[in-house]
Structure 1
Amino acid sequence: MVIHNPSILFERIKHKEYRIPQENLVELQKQEWCLETLNNECYRPIDLLIRPLAPHLAGLYTMMSKTLATKATIPIWEGFYKPFVSEEDPDEFRILLALGPDVDGHLNTAHGGVSALMLDEAMGNMALMHTEPGTPVFTTYMHTTYKKPVPTPSVLLLRATFDGKRSAGRKLYINASLESGTGVVYTTAEALFLEARGKDGPKI
């Protein structure tokens, strides 16, 4: 049995309202399918602490907070969390994002490594929802299946879910998918995250 302990990220949902930057909101609202998440009260927008990077995380997470935070890479990266209600209504983590041309591996097609990185980020955030507050997690295994090329530029949906049946102790199994938002699944992944012990990593 896994006890659902809200992390610092979840505490922010309950105690601090996060507002999506207006520029990002306007772009996302242009996609009709994004409204299902944006207008759904079950999915609360959360501050992922990387855009801008939280002061206490200075020098960390530079891949997503700096390298891939340009207009031509991943200019939009907004997270949403639906809390766990029951086994029949489990929690889900979503990210609405925009991809630019500078992540291409082929013409108008995102590099496969970028897809894997984004899936890893989404699953890592979901893993944090199931750890003690402030405890970091590390990816120890990740299996990625590439189903279709990811077009660029594009606005996409990431989904991550927690596998409570397989998870136990410090081991957290997470599943995720990168989708078009209109039914096309581009890439899927499953991963095992390990909750850090003691001074294994920086506090989040």
Structure 2
Amino acid sequence: MSKRIQAKHKIDRRLGVNLWGRPKSPVNDREYGPGQHGQRRKKPTDYGIQLMAKQRLKGYYGSIGERQFRKLYEEAARRRGDTSENLIGLLERRLETVVYRAKFVPTVFAARQFVNHGHVLVNGKRVNIGSYQLKEGDVVEVRDRAKQLAIVLGAAQSQERDVPEYVETDHKKMTARLVRVPQLGDVPYPVSMEPHLVVEYYSR
């Protein structure tokens, strides 16, 4: 698990956006960064803009470390097609991401923990690695012992966000299927993501 020490809300304030679109984000009240110098504004450089885009995308997925995120970029660059779209596809195919998208848990951080604790089956087999890459058609299921957990029931009933079209979900059976690998325009990010700037950052 990522060794993230700072509060999750601080990520929102440091980046200046409500990264997960949650009503309790402090950015809703204060759009400047934390600390006594948080309100200082200066025009960012091209490098700064690329770095912020990378931090925003990496931060959104919660528990991905820098080394792991760079490996995802390298894999995206190695594949045919548009590297930025490949990167989004790899991020959205992660098991913990699909668990979050299916609304089995309330946050991306809870998704990593939920998978790590062995509460999830993939095609009938237990998988406890959050970074596990799903394939189109793979079925993710919450194990019987976890289906009545308060966190699961609360997330499934939440009106805070919707399940995207590329994840087919049955909340009665607590199953989800990855219908297809999405493109950037399919992903319901609450804030603007610019993966092409992430590609520029790493390819400098």
Higher strand share: 1
- Give the alignment's TM-score, normalised by structure 1: 0.28
- Give the alignment's TM-score, normalised by structure 2: 0.28
- Structure label with greater radius of gyration: 2
